[in-house]
Structure 1
Amino acid sequence: MARNDERRRLLTDAGIGVLAADGMRGLTHRAVDARAGVPTGTASNYFRSREALVGALVERIGERLAPDPAVHAQWRDRTPTAALFADYTRDIVRRLSAERDVTLALFTLRLEAARSPAIASALGDWMRAGFAADVAFNRDAGLPGGAFEIALFHYAIEGLILDRLTVSIDPEASTDEIVEAFVEGLLGGRTRDGERRG
C-alpha cells in the first residue's frame, strides 16, 4: 500500500478519537481502522507497533494544538504587557477547549504515562520540547514572565482545562475571568526570587 500524508493524518485523527472516546484500552490498530473507515490492517501498515502508533498520535496532537500563525500575527506589534500575555493565554485555552477530543486524548496519554515508561518517554520528550519553545517564545516576544512563571501557567491552564472538559467544580465561573486572575496572580505578584514585577 502506498503511504501518504493524508492517509496518515486520517489514521492518527481516528486514533485520537479512539483515545478520547474509549481510553487506552480501546486503542488498537483495528479500532483505529474502524473509526477511520479503512480496511482492516491499514493502521498496522502505517504503524507497525502500538508504540509507533502512540508516537504518531503524540506528533499529531502537537500539530492540531499548534497556534494559528494568523492569530499570533495580529498581536505582533502590540506592546508586550500582562494584557498581551493574557490574550496569548486565552488563545491557548480556546484551542485546548475547541479541540476537545485532542485534549482528552492528551490527558489520557498523560495518565497512561504514569504506568508506561514508553509512553512517558515519548510524551515527556514532546512536552518538554514544547515547554522550552513556550519559554523561548515568551522571552523573544518580550512578554513578562520567565521559565518559572510559564511552568506555573502550564499547571494552572491544564487544571482549568481538565475542569472544563470533565467535571467542573464551578461550571458557571467565567473562563476569561479565571485567565485574568491567573495573569494577575502570577505576573502581578512576586517572582520566585522575590523581586516585584513592574
Structure 2
Amino acid sequence: MRQNPARRAALLDGAIEVLAREGSRGLTLRAVDARAGVPKGTTTNYFANRAELLAQVMTRIQERLTPGETQIADTMREKPSAELVATLLKQLLGRMRADRSSWLALMELRLEATRRPELHAELTRFFTAQLDANISFHLDGGLPGDRTGVILMYLAMVGLIVDDLTVPDLLAPHSVDKLIDELARRLTGTGPDA
C-alpha cells in the first residue's frame, strides 16, 4: 500500500464527499478517484477494499470534526458552568455546520452499518470511544452534571444536529441557541426543572 499521507487524506476527503452527496451505494473506489481528482486506480493503491476505506473514513471524519487544542483550551478557561457547557455544545453544532459533508457521511455510515455487520461492529467501537471521551472530558473538566446528563446531552445533540443539517426548516421557528442554553441548564442540574 502507498504511504503518501497527503494523497491518502485527499482520497479519504473524496470518499467523505461521495458519501455525503451520493450515499453509501455511490461510494466506489472509482468514484473516490474521480472526486479526489486522481488517476483511476489510485484509491486501490491505498486501500485494499471498500471495507478498509470505510473504516479509515471514520477516522478521517473524526480528524476533520475534532476542534483544535487551542480552541478547546481557550474555551475551557471559563469557569465550569451550564453556560460553558452551552458554549461547548454551540461550538459542536458550529463545527458540524461548517463541515456538513463529514456529518452527512457519518450518517451514511450509520445507515450502511445496519446492513453490514462488520461495519456495525467498527462503528459501534468508534462511537463508544467517542462517547466515552466526551464523558471523560466533561467530568474531568469539572463541568456541572453527571454521566447520565452527558449521555442525554449527546443524544439530544445528535437529534438536533440531524434535524439542523437535514430539515433545517423544522427548527427555523425556534432559536437553536436558546434551545441549547436550556438543554445545558436542565441536563447539568442548574435549570429551573432540574
TM-score class normalised by the smaller sequence: over 0.9
Partner SS for 2:126: helix
Q: Tell me what 1:49 maps to.
A: 49
Q: 1:64 to 1:88 in 2, by over 3 A?
A: same
Matched residues, number: 193
Shift in Å at residue 147 of structure 1?
Answer: 2.1
Amino acid at match of 2:94: R
Indicate the residue corresponding to 1:95 in structure 2: 95
Distance in 1 between residues matched to 2:53 and 2:66, nearest whole Å: 20
**Matched residue, 1:193:** none
How far apart, in 2, do the equivalents of 1:115 and 1:47 lie? 21
Question: Are the aligned partners of 1:33 and 1:43 in contact in 2 as well (CA < 8 Å)?
Answer: yes
- Matched with 2:171 is 170
Contact 1:187 1:197 (8 Å CA) reproduced: no
- TM-superposed deviation, 1:171: 2.0
Contact 1:12 1:60 in 2 (8 A): yes
Could you list the structure 1 runs, at least 4 aligned residues long, displaced by more than 4 angstroms after superposition: none
The CA distance in 1 between the partners of 2:2 and 2:164, in whole Å, is 41
Q: Deviations over 1:76-127 (max 9, x none)?
A: 3321111111111111111111110000001111122112111111111111
CA drift of 1:146 comes to 2.3
State the partner residue of 1:182. 183
Matched AA of 1:71 = Q
Conserved 8 A contact 1:14-1:35: yes
Range 112-121 or range 8-17, more displaced: 112-121
Structure-2 change in CA distance of 1:123 and 1:25 (3 Å): same
In structure 1, the gaps of 5 or more residues are 191-195
**Secondary structure of residue in 1 paired with 2:38:** coil
> Separation in 1 of the partners of 2:2 and 2:53?
18
Paired amino acid for 1:3: Q
1:116 counterpart = 2:116: yes
The unaligned stretches of length 5 or more in structure 2 are none
Amino acid at match of 1:94: G
Residue identity in the other structure for 2:96? L
- The percentage of aligned residue pairs carrying the same residue is 40
Partner amino acid for 1:98?
A
Higher helix proportion (structure 1 or 2)? 2
CA distance in 1, matches of 2:77, 2:19: 39
Q: Distance in 2 between matches of 1:85 and 1:96?
A: 17
Deviation at 1:2, TM superposition (A): 4.6
